[in-house]
Amino acid sequence: MGPLKLAIIGGGPSSFYVASRLLSLFPQNDTLTSPLKIHIYDRLWAPHGLVRYGVAPDHPEVKNCTHKFDQVAQDPRLHFFGNIQVGPQTPPVIPHALPISLSALKSHYTHLLFSTGCNIPTLHPTLPPSDRVIPALSLVQWYTQHPSRPPPPPLHKTEHVSVIGQGNVALDVARMLLTPPAILEKYDVPSPVLDVLHRSAVRHVSIIGRRGLLQAAFTTKELRELTTLEGTFMTPLAPEILAPLSPPAPSNAKLTRQQSRILQLLQKGSPGSPTATSELPHGIKTKSWSLDFFRSPTGLTADGQYLTLAHTMLDERARAVPTGVTSLLRTDLTVTSLGHHADPSAAYFDPALGHLRTDRGRVLDTAGHTLRRVYASGWAATGARGVLAATMIDAYAVADVILADHFSNGRGEVAKLESGAYSKEDALVADDVDMVSIPKEVEEGVKAGRVVQYDQWKKIDAEELRRGAEMGKERERMGWEEAHQFLTSMGAW
């Protein structure tokens, strides 16, 4: 059996789950001479990807998986290298990330795993980003203090927000904009973000979808949180929207359990009865939100003050088609929440899929041939869908494929695949490697204090938690400059 030295590009949940599975299943005799080594590279200086920079701050329970990741990182066979951009850097740019080429990894690893996620927002064709239109991802990365540093939205002069899309991210954005800052203060919300939210003038959020209630992608939990949000009320829906089954559904169709619960929540609406002059604790006036079904945006008016909407209906295939009726919606800010796709500049990206071409976790070239010992997991392989549990299941399956391929041949060659011949492209990995070596650029970056390793991250993590405790909140985050200065002052480099 030959060595398995794996480079993972991306440090989010999927990469740690793959690492966890490999470390738990791979035979271990002596960790110093182990035939398994795993190096995780991430363009962000802090690990955990979307768990740190994508989960809504008021959902702290979702972040509990980081305890497992901390345990995985204690294994001496695993090393994390943060603040390293492998391959071309495309927006959103991380200005302080150390750039290295993909080819720089080749001579150091026998296996390669892409776990780079989907970090590019899908834009609406008639609503390109502008001072009045921003992708939901930019807003999420603003309130999680992502290293790409998106600017804060102009909430101080925004009363009405239109969110295009009806998935969980859309509801997260609406909830963050409507929740009283006094409630958010106890969570992992950076102080500069709270300052902007305290000055916010937002009074109403319209959550717009081109199809109907039964086609909405949000979950019961996310909807319930909005319907019970303090000081915020749902605009009642029209009776025809709340009909148990919207035409043209088949006469014998039945609601799923989730659809039934969502329908019950929407029929019940928000507790209480709002008035224009209602005042609530913390000096917060009542706010409102609405679910606007069967509306498809076609652009903004020339003055940018109105969103133009085409009214739609469902055809026999449940697709949204225009009815010929249009309307205008007065709005100050439009947030497009239409999903995400992988970086188009990434190796083996398939524009038709929006992610890498794979077959059961194995990466394919443009001809559909399997690359030797090159894999992908998580959203990089499946697209931006599923929750953390689905990510874990996918990651474990990919880890099992890596092990099956490895143990099928002492040299780590890929077993014969049903999908056909192997790729004739230049190999991205080597057969014989130094099990402890890292690329020269990374080694120099470590010495220069540009690369964050996991033990250094844990020092930052502890300090963020300490600062947060002093302020009566979950944590107070650091940006790169502050984290770098903190580690320097501790002599941690």
Binding residues for NADP(+): 166-169, 210-211, 222, 386
Which positions make up the binding site? 14, 50, 86, 166-169, 210-211, 222, 379, 386
Please spell the DSSP secondary structure of 211-236, one letter per residue: S-GGG----HHHHHHHHT-TTEEEPP
CA-CA distance, 35 to 274, in Å (whole number)?
65
Axis crossing angle, helix 168-178 with helix 136-143, rounded to the nearest 10: 50
Axis crossing angle, helix 454-470 with helix 480-490, rounded to the nearest 10: 100
39 Cβ neighbours under 8 A, 6+ residues apart: 5, 6, 7, 8, 78, 79, 80, 81, 109, 438
Q: Helical H runs in 26-134?
A: 50-53, 65-73
Residues 164, 336 contacting (CB under 8 angstroms): yes
CA-CA distance, 451 to 80, in Å (whole number)?
9
Q: What is the 3-state secondary structure (H, E, C) of 286-355?
A: CEEEEEECCEEEEEECCCCCEEEEEEEEECCCCCEEEEEEEEEEECCEEEECCCEECCCCCCCEECCCCE
CA-CA distance, 207 to 217, in Å (whole number)?
12
The total of other beta-carbon atoms located within 10 Å of residue 146's CB is: 21
Residues 53, 34 contacting (CB under 8 angstroms): no
Residues 209, 296 contacting (CB under 8 angstroms): no
Residues 100, 324 contacting (CB under 8 angstroms): no
According to DSSP, the residues that pair with 315 across neighbouring strands are none
Which positions make up the binding site for FAD? 14, 50, 86, 379
Pairing outcome for strands 111-114 and 355-356: unpaired
Virtual CA dihedral for 395, 70, 43, 97, nearest 10 degrees? -170
Measuring CA to CA, how many Å separate 427 from each of 2, 61, 322?
17, 42, 50
